[in-house]
Every structure is written in C-alpha cells, then in structure tokens.
Structure 1
Amino acid sequence: MSPRNLLSDPAWQGSDLGHPLPDSPHAVSVALPRWRDVIAYEEKDPACRDALKTIYPRFGLHPLIRELVQPSELAGTTVWPYPTEAAAQAALTHCQRKAPESRSELIAIAGVCCLRSDAAASPHAKAFWQHTGLGLSSRQAAIALGKEAAPSSTSGEAARGVIRERLAGIHGVDAQQISLHPAGMAGLHAALSAIQTLRPGRPTLQLGFPYVDVLKQPQVVFHGGELLQPQSLAEVEATLDQLQPAAVIVELPSNPLLRCMDLPGVSALARSRGIPVIADDTIGTGINLNALPYADLIFSSLTKSFAGRGDVMAGSVLMSPQSPWADSLLKAVPDVTPLSDADAIALEIASRDVLQRVPQLDANALLLAERLEAHPAVERVLHPKSCPNFCALMRSGAGHGCLLSFELKGGQDHSKRVYDALQISKGPSLGTDFSLVCPYTQLAHYDELSWAEQCGVPADLLRVSVGLEDPEALWMRFEQAFADEETGETLKKPLTTG
C-alpha cells in the first residue's frame, strides 16, 4: 500500500486518531484530530494513548523502542536506551543526583546500552530523555531489532559530511564549525556543555516566552535557568549584572508568539560582560536569518524545516566564527551522542531540496497569515513579519519561516469547533511539507495554562505549520472551517487538493 499523501489526504477526522504523520515507521508526529483528543492525550486517557501508533520521540518511547526494551522492564522499572555508553552514563548520573536513594543501573539489550531505573528514579529518567534528546532513535531501534539493515559506517560518515557542507553553505561558514546531534535538544545539550567550560556552575538566562524544553533543560539537567520577558534592554542589562548567567538563550523567533529579542543589543550587553549568547534558529532558519555576528552558538532542530519530511530526528550546533570564544567553544563541544549513520543518511536525502522547499513554505505561510488577518472571525495573527527585531536579522530576499499562530473571536469554544473542522493534519511538530495545526498551549503547557495566559499565550491559540499545499486549496480549507463553525454544521464531504 502506498504511503498516505497528507497534502491531498490530511489526517483530520476522528477516525484518524493516532495515525503517524507522515505515514512512516519513523514518523515524529501523530494525529490528534479533535480538541477532545488533545485533552485526552494530556490527561493520559488509556483509550487515547492506546490509539497512538507513534509518539514524538522525545516525549515518550517510540513503538520500535518500546518493543526493544519492554522485555527488560522489571516490575516497577522503566528502561531508556541510549546509542552510546557515555549518554547512558550521563542519564544514570542525573538520576543518582536527583534521587540519591533510588536504584538505577546500566544494562545491555541487543548491544544497546540502556538505563534501567526504579519507580523513584523513573520520573528523572524520563525528564532527562525528554529534555536532552540524547536517546536512541527509532532507526537505531529498528536495526537492533533486526527489522532494518545497518548501513555502513562509511556511508554514514559521508552523509554527515554532506549535511555539514550543506549547512555550512547556508550559513556561510566552514563545515568544521558545525557538529551534528540526534535532536535539536541534543544540540542544546552540547552547547550548554561547552558553555560550562567557560562559565561553570552558573544558571542560564532565557529571554522571551520559551519553548518548554529549551527552558527546562538548563533548569533540570544543568545548573538552573531563569526566564525574563523584558520590555527594554535596560531590564536585560540589570538582570545580567544581577544573575551573571552562564549564557543568554534566545529563540529566533520564539514559539508560539513568533517574536524576537533585539539580538544585536542583547549581544552587545552580554559580550561586554563575558557572557556568550546561544540562539535557536529552528523556526526562522539560517536560510532566512543571519545571526552569526551576534550569537556565539546557534543550535537548530534539523528535524523540522531542514528535513521537511517529519520522519527523521536530528540537530546541529554552529560555532560562530565571529564569537570571541570561537576556538575554545569549538574544542569544548562534546560528542556524547553523534547523529547515527542511518539517521544521517535519511537526513541527507530529505534535505537535498531544502533551498527550494523552505522559501516556498515561507511564501505560503506569509500568504495564509495575510488572509487570516483579513478574516472577520480572526482576532489576532502572530507571524514574524510583524516583528521588527526579526526583520532586522533577515537576509536579502529571505522569508519569515513556515509558522504562524492565531486566535479567534469568541474564545475557546470557537477555537475547538474550528480546530475540529479544519481539514488539515493535526499534531505536534513543524516544518513538514504537509501543513500541521495544533492547539499549541494545550499541548505544551497543559498543566500551566494560567501561567501561559499571563505571559500572553492564550489557551485557545492555534498554531499552524504551513506546508506545500496549493495556497488556494489550503485557504479553502480554512474558509470552510470558519463557515462550519459559524453555521454549527460539519462538512459532510472532505475537500480534496489536486
């Protein structure tokens, strides 16, 4: 059977609950087609969880990974596989630090080094797995299970070389300044580890509303992380002097508000105090933004727009040649878990069209943002075009990224009905060639909705990653969802895209 074409046949109906997005054994997203499915997922409803044929790899154990480790899960324990002994040892050390009375151990399963933790340590083992992204990939699990053949190390190394050269061409740097990792958060882990050699034992300072794991990783795994949503550079300056952080972390732009800090201003303040700046350009992409003069380290989730397929996890770290600490940071980036051969080969193939695909995603997202802004049902649209600080970093002829967020007039009831009626695949992640929508705040901050609301991120916000569908056909899906919400009727026949 051919894989489902999500551009023309999106996973949007109740019967699609749990469908992998895309239709691949290594899919990183999963369909949550109705608002109530999202709530059931967050509430850990067994019926919903049992329906999921996959899961975002950092948020739990992928089915292939679960198949690998389940036979070794003793009563009251969980097992977490890692691709290297160094990564598994780091997870064990974390559990021992967080729960010193607990019992955890390293075991081998089919040649894979795993952390087995008891009930007391398991929450910490899960947190380390989620926040760092250092765990075994689904492709590595498939190889360990004998379901897929292991590629040659020569092929893997060749693919990693091509990827580094591709990224180097995008950023205009030497390929030796780029390292590859098994996830975007693993890239952040490498960056934070390198920073510790410069400013050990210090917390980080994150500016702007955070992607949850970008904030949680320094808080939970390293030496703490403070969050500041400043109104002025003077506020940033005062906090730098008071906190003396290990580094400043910024997102270009933030998720889901799609705003940027004044990066040149922040960089000047930080560097004058000997404090490096770490930037996450996953959403904006290096194709669109030039942050190198101002960021000392740039990490990115290559899972997203760089790959574009939604079926391979990867991340990168770039050392800015213009950083005053360029040489020392480059030497300090650890190689705890390199990007695996199988994942590197898949990523190299997926990213071959990145220079053609990303501008089209950007253009489609901009057009949809403009149309949503003009629609009477829409209260507010969030898109980087409205952020002067983002625009100041843009390369000549660049776009704004594939992401937008919007709120509807009438609050959460309206958002629920429009979400349910939208004939677009629904699930987490972004940057895929097919559009994805999710009620972002419900997924990322379900247990802290009031806090998110105070930060300007409402519970009814819908986030859209815009794909390569025909823009007119995509807009028709939105118009139909708005019309369905207004009339209270549900479309009987699905729209199709040619």
Structure 2
Amino acid sequence: MLQALGGPVPPNTDHAVSVSLPTWRANVGYEEGEDWVISKMQCGYPRFFVHPVIQKLAREIVSRFGDSEQEAATLFASIKTARICHSFIVSKIPVEQSQKVRIVNFIPSPHTEAGSTAITSTLSAVIYPTEFAPIAKQVWQHSGNGISSRRGEFCLRALQDGFLVEDKGSGASESIQRPCKGPRRYQGRGSLSGVARTPSTPSSSAGTPSATANGVEDGRDYSQFIEERFGRNLSTLHANQAKDAVRRRIAGVLTADVELPEALETASSEGRVAGISEDDVLLYPSGMSAIFNSHQTLMNARGPMKSICFGFPYTDTLKILQKWGPGCLFYGHGSSEDLDDLESRLKNGERFLSLFTEAPGNPLLRTPDLVRIRALADQYDFAVVVDETISNFLNINVLRYADIVVSSLTKIFSGDSNVMGGSAVLNPHEQYYRHLKEIFNRDFEDIYWAEDAVFLERNSRDFVSRIDKINSTSEEITAMLKASPLIKDVHYPKYSPTRPLYDSLRNPNGGYGGLFSVTFYSTEEAIAFYDTLEVLKGPSLGTNFTLSSPYVLLAHYGELDWARSFNVDPDLVRISAGLEDVSDLRSRFERALDAVEKARK
C-alpha cells in the first residue's frame, strides 16, 4: 500500500499533485533538506516543488537567453503575471542589481498556422541571478500563478520544435498578451486561457511542408505537432466547453453527475444564491492564484488598505496579505473575543480593505462566525473573502455571507490529484459586486491552461456522488477515533466547539466534509500512528484515496512555536478520507491505534 519515498501520489501519475513522504522521519528530512529525501523526490506539490518538466524548460530558456552557470528562470503564462514576479524580486534586492532581473517573452511562431481552433501558448520567463532564486520561489509558491506541468510539456516541445519563439517586438508582445475581457470571453472566439492565437493563415494540406525556418522541421506542420502532443486535435472549442461546464458546477446551477454534453445542455437551476450564473465564476491555475488575484482585484477596486486574516489560515493566504499591499491584521484564534477586538477597532475608526477567512479552517476545522462578520462588513465597509476548499459548496453555503468565495479545485472538486485549478465566485447581491465585476471584466486574465481544464472537467463529473460517499466515511471513522482513549482530540466540524456555526451554513443534504485531524498524548504516539497507518501519505487533501500527513510539520516547520501559540499541535496528523470501503479503512485505523498503544507501553 505504501508508495516509495519521493514517488508520485497517486502512483504512476505524470502530473501528480502530491508526493510520497511515507514516514514521519521522511517529512522531517524533507523540511531539513536532507539529501536522502530530496534526492528521491520525483515530484511534489506544484507550488512548493517545481515539476521536472518545468525545470527542464527553464534550463532550456536560460541556456538560450541567459547564463546557465549563474542564472535561473521562473516561468509564467503571461507577461502580466511575470511582471508581478519581476516587481517582487526587484523590491527585495539592491537597486544596483535590479537591471540583472529581466523578462523574456515567447509567442507562437508565425509558422504554427494555428487556424481558428488550434491550441497555442504564450510564455514569459523571469530570468535572474541564481542567488535571487529564493525570492522568486516566494512568488511561485504564494501567488500560484506559475505555469502548470502540462503547459510546461507543451511549451518545451514547442520551443524545441520552433513553434514557440522569442517576441522581439515589445509592441507585438503587449498586444498579443493583453488581458482577456472578463468571464464571458471563455466562450468567445478570442484568445484561450492566456493562450494567444496567431492570426489565421491558409492551412496546409496534410503532409505539405509548411514551416522550414526558425528551427521548425522540414515537412512537419503545426497540426502534426498538435496531433503528436494530444493524440488528437484538442481545440479551443473543447477547452472552452470544459471550462463552461466547470463554471456551471461551481456556480451551483448544475448539481447532478453528468457528462459534458448534458452539462452544457441542461437548463440552469437556481444556484448557490438567487441570480447567480456561471458568468460570476472565474477560473485560475490554482486555488492560491484565486486568493492572490482576489486580493489584487480588491486593492485595485478600493485602493491599498490593510486586510484582516481571521482564524488560523492556510499558510500562503497569510503570506499574501503580509507581502503584497500594506499588510494585515491577524487573528489566529478566530474566536468571538477576536471579533470583539475587531469591532472595537472599527468603532475607534480603523478601516480595512477586506477580511479573509476559511470555513472551516485548516487544520483545526473550526468555523468562523460569518453572520457576525457579514454584519460588521456591512456596517464598516470592508469586503469578505471566504475560502470554502475544506468542506466545499455541496456541504455548506458560505456565498450568502461573502463578497467573494474562493476554492482550490485541485482538491475534492477534482479528486484525482492530477490537475491544479482554482476558482473565485462573486456574490451578485453584495455591495461591491458591480465594482468588482467591472474590475474583473477589465483586468481578468484567463491563464488556465486548456489541457488542464479538460482534465478538471472530466474529473469533476462525479463530484456530487463522491462527496456523499466521503462525508459518510469520514463520519464513521471520526466516530471510531473519538471513542478511543488513545486519541487526545479529533478535530472535525461535527465535534468542534464551533459546530453550531458550521450547522448554520449547512445545505439541506450537506455533511461535515472529508478532512479531519487527530492529536495524541506524545510525539512518539503520533509517530507510531502515522508510520503504521496504511494509506498514501503526502501533502494535499480532497483526494479520491485516503491521504495523510503530519500537516503542521509540513506547513509550519520553521514556526512550530508560533503555531502552538494558536493551539495548533505540532504533532497533529491530518487525514483526508477517500472512496475506499469503509470497513477496510476501519481495519487500517485500528492497526494504527494498536501501534499507538504499543508506543504508550
């Protein structure tokens, strides 16, 4: 059952979004950068570990346009996202070094002969001295805007074959990579997913040489390149349809397990809130990208002001609010006392851009008081952004209390752990809706890679039935753990002191989700449990298979005392329930508890 150290999770998956860290010691070794772990890492969570194919593409670009011995590159799908990285690096280094940081843009070669439907991609590389790589890595990790491994594969082959070339004309580059205009453009005939299309040119007949210059092989045209890459001609039409179906599911106007044609044809029902449509849903390359860009959009709409981070958050949300803009006010407990303090500040004249929170939080699964937060937001004029990733919109409805709801589609919405994605949903009834819609329509840039959209849509077709199964399994396993004297605490919305707040958000058929955390009476017992538990082990959650990790070690290794100050136990083990037979899972957990008992003796 256990996957070898450093192997993809799930096994035999080229674009897996998790990596096997099967023992407690392996997790510590990873955090310490020990070679016996790092040397075996075939992949990792994409925002923390750059996929090997992206590393190869970056090396190829630096070898052509930089100094392979002294420089490195970070890759983005558009010049806009590359400029965010460029600006961040420049802000952190000596002024005299800033000219060494530069952007090289790539566009489809005129020889692609893309026609009206073929997939193409732009690419922007931020090149910098290697010593600045840790700074660039912060942008890659926190913003979530980096290219996906599937886009990386495509661009590497296109660059090598001459179908992706440097854009030497700044004017051309700017015009080709101009941001797309709003959600409706998903269905338009313009650029796809930040994937700019070249002007139509007469198509060659099959087998006719169409490109012999700029490194393009004689006798091989772009249609053949696409056929070899995708197995068939993946078109903008297919990708746009996939995005449209995904957006309908997220808006809540499509609530059944259906194939793509039916998803597109079925009449829309009422969604999460009255009047919502798929046009209120924006897709991003990751959940963190949705959070990052929501924060950027709010600052564009309302000006640079401090935000509030309410409750113990996923680490990168707090980092975004701290590192971009004027900073944030952090309430790590997310308690009623924290709300009392916030209300006092507001009454005394302090003003904020927005409040970011999770419902429920990670990893303690506590639920914030969204009713009170909404009331304060309405009275004192700030936006509310809620991350619903943990429980998802089928279990709870948080949109009625939020201006924007964000989610990582990488998790339970996909389930297969082989594609990244994120979404932001606008509430059409809140005060900032019209202004935010205008900003998004003006500035939104669709950089979600076409191939990733197709995989996400396929994975999400059985989303509804998977949620029901995982809810049921989680309730049974947590009940078993709750009854064991070997367990110090079970963190799960059903057993949380904030359960009444969670229940107030639940949909009529909603459950408590598939994520829970357990703590023990000693580190030795936690290690025994984790090492013995026969499930896949690695970062991420919401997978179709049960997945476990010593979450606090991975997310907060350099700040364990800080985490402890918010009652987050460094020895906590987090578990995401999957679709396995529940009786089989019970047996596995029972064996892990037996190991805990032996460790205690």
TM-score of the pair, normalised by structure 2: 0.77
Q: Using the TM superposition, give the Cα deviation of residue 365 of structure 1 relative to its aligned residue in structure 2, in angstroms.
A: 1.1
Is the contact made by 2:79 and 2:105 (CA closer than 8 Å) also made in structure 1? no
List per-residue Cα deviations over 1:424-445 (Å, max 9, x = no partner).
1110000000000100110000
- Say which SS state the counterpart of residue 401 (structure 2) adopts: coil
Q: Equivalent residues in 2 for 1:87-166 (5 A)? A: 87-101=81-95, 102=97, 103-108=100-105, 112-146=123-157, 148-149=229-230, 151-166=234-249
Partner letter of residue 99 of structure 1?
Answer: I
- Counterpart Cα distance in 2 of 1:426 and 1:405: 14
Is the contact made by 2:397 and 2:505 (CA closer than 8 Å) also made in structure 1? yes
Q: Provide the residue aligned with 1:457 in structure 2.
A: 568
1:335 pairs with one of 444, 464, 472: 444
Q: In the superposition, relative to structure 1, how do residues 455 and 76 fare at CA in structure 2: closer, same or farther (>3 Å)?
A: farther
Q: Provide the residue aligned with 2:171 in structure 1.
A: none
Q: Provide the residue aligned with 1:79 in structure 2.
A: 73
- Say which SS state the counterpart of residue 293 (structure 1) adopts: helix
2:340 pairs with one of 209, 234, 238: 234
Is the contact made by 1:69 and 1:109 (CA closer than 8 Å) also made in structure 2? no
Q: Provide the residue aligned with 1:270 in structure 2.
A: 377
List per-residue Cα deviations over 1:477-497 (Å, max 9, x = no partner).
1111121343369xxxxxxxx
- Match status 1:38 vs 2:32: no
- Counterpart Cα distance in 2 of 1:239 and 1:364: 43
TM-score of the pair, normalised by structure 1: 0.92
Q: Using the TM superposition, give the Cα deviation of residue 148 of structure 1 relative to its aligned residue in structure 2, in angstroms.
A: 3.5
Q: In the superposition, relative to structure 1, how do residues 133 and 97 fare at CA in structure 2: closer, same or farther (>3 Å)?
A: same
Which stretch shows the higher mean deviation, 212-221 or 231-240?
231-240
- Say which SS state the counterpart of residue 324 (structure 1) adopts: coil
- Say which SS state the counterpart of residue 397 (structure 1) adopts: coil
Is the contact made by 2:9 and 2:18 (CA closer than 8 Å) also made in structure 1? yes
Is the contact made by 1:292 and 1:322 (CA closer than 8 Å) also made in structure 2? no
- Counterpart Cα distance in 1 of 2:461 and 2:8: 23
Q: Provide the residue aligned with 2:527 in structure 1.
A: 416
Q: Provide the residue aligned with 2:503 in structure 1.
A: 391
Q: Provide the residue aligned with 2:206 in structure 1.
A: none
1:54 pairs with one of 43, 61, 69: 43
Which stretch shows the higher mean deviation, 143-152 or 241-250?
143-152
Is the contact made by 2:486 and 2:596 (CA closer than 8 Å) also made in structure 1? no
Q: In the superposition, relative to structure 1, how do residues 405 and 243 fare at CA in structure 2: closer, same or farther (>3 Å)?
A: farther
Partner letter of residue 27 of structure 1?
Answer: A
- Say which SS state the counterpart of residue 121 (structure 1) adopts: helix
Is the contact made by 2:301 and 2:439 (CA closer than 8 Å) also made in structure 1? no
Partner letter of residue 57 of structure 2?
Answer: L
Partner letter of residue 71 of structure 1?
Answer: E
Is the contact made by 1:128 and 1:221 (CA closer than 8 Å) also made in structure 2? no
1:351 pairs with one of 453, 460, 463: 460
- Counterpart Cα distance in 2 of 1:465 and 1:439: 12
Q: In the superposition, relative to structure 1, how do residues 340 and 72 fare at CA in structure 2: closer, same or farther (>3 Å)?
A: closer
Q: Using the TM superposition, give the Cα deviation of residue 41 of structure 1 relative to its aligned residue in structure 2, in angstroms.
A: 0.3
Partner letter of residue 439 of structure 1?
Answer: P
- Counterpart Cα distance in 2 of 1:238 and 1:442: 35
Q: Provide the residue aligned with 2:425 in structure 1.
A: 318
Which stretch shows the higher mean deviation, 119-128 or 285-294?
119-128
- Say which SS state the counterpart of residue 400 (structure 2) adopts: coil
Q: Provide the residue aligned with 2:286 in structure 1.
A: 183
Is the contact made by 1:134 and 1:337 (CA closer than 8 Å) also made in structure 2? no
Is the contact made by 2:524 and 2:599 (CA closer than 8 Å) also made in structure 1? no
Q: Equivalent residues in 2 for 1:270-289 (5 A)? A: 270-289=377-396
Is the contact made by 1:256 and 1:463 (CA closer than 8 Å) also made in structure 2? yes
- Say which SS state the counterpart of residue 80 (structure 1) adopts: strand
Q: Using the TM superposition, give the Cα deviation of residue 114 of structure 1 relative to its aligned residue in structure 2, in angstroms.
A: 0.9
Is the contact made by 1:83 and 1:337 (CA closer than 8 Å) also made in structure 2? no
- Counterpart Cα distance in 2 of 1:121 and 1:198: 32
> What percent of counterpart residues are identical?
32
Which of 1 and 2 has greater Rg? 2
1:404 pairs with one of 499, 512, 516: 516
Q: Using the TM superposition, give the Cα deviation of residue 474 of structure 1 relative to its aligned residue in structure 2, in angstroms.
A: 0.5
List per-residue Cα deviations over 1:18-67 (Å, max 9, x = no partner).
11011311100000001110001001112211101111110121111112
Q: Provide the residue aligned with 1:167 in structure 2.
A: 250
List per-residue Cα deviations over 1:432-472 (Å, max 9, x = no partner).
00000100110000000011011100111000000011111
Q: Provide the residue aligned with 1:255 in structure 2.
A: 362
- Counterpart Cα distance in 1 of 2:281 and 2:94: 37
Q: Provide the residue aligned with 1:438 in structure 2.
A: 549
List per-residue Cα deviations over 1:175-210 (Å, max 9, x = no partner).
110000000011012211221133211121011111
- Counterpart Cα distance in 2 of 1:222 and 1:477: 47
- Counterpart Cα distance in 1 of 2:483 and 2:321: 40
Is the contact made by 1:240 and 1:270 (CA closer than 8 Å) also made in structure 2? no
Q: Using the TM superposition, give the Cα deviation of residue 79 of structure 1 relative to its aligned residue in structure 2, in angstroms.
A: 1.1
> Where does the alignment leave 5 or more consecutive residues of structure 1 unmatched?
1-8, 490-498
- Match status 1:364 vs 2:361: no
Is the contact made by 1:87 and 1:337 (CA closer than 8 Å) also made in structure 2? no
Is the contact made by 2:72 and 2:129 (CA closer than 8 Å) also made in structure 1? yes
List per-residue Cα deviations over 1:288-320 (Å, max 9, x = no partner).
111122100001000001001111000000001
- Match status 1:378 vs 2:487: yes
> Where does the alignment leave 5 or more consecutive residues of structure 2 unmatched?
63-67, 108-121, 158-227, 256-270
Q: Provide the residue aligned with 2:540 in structure 1.
A: 429
List per-residue Cα deviations over 1:151-187 (Å, max 9, x = no partner).
3222111111111111122543211100000000110
- Counterpart Cα distance in 2 of 1:268 and 1:154: 43
- Match status 1:28 vs 2:17: yes
Query: How many pairs were matched up?
Result: 476
CA-based RMSD of the aligned residues comes to 1.8
- Counterpart Cα distance in 2 of 1:294 and 1:356: 26
List per-residue Cα deviations over 1:231-278 (Å, max 9, x = no partner).
333222124456422100110111001011110101101121110100
Q: Using the TM superposition, give the Cα deviation of residue 145 of structure 1 relative to its aligned residue in structure 2, in angstroms.
A: 2.6
Which stretch shows the higher mean deviation, 84-93 or 230-239?
230-239
Partner letter of residue 557 of structure 2?
Answer: Y
List per-residue Cα deviations over 1:355-414 (Å, max 9, x = no partner).
1111211111111111100012111000011322111111112011110001122x1111
- Counterpart Cα distance in 2 of 1:38 and 1:139: 27
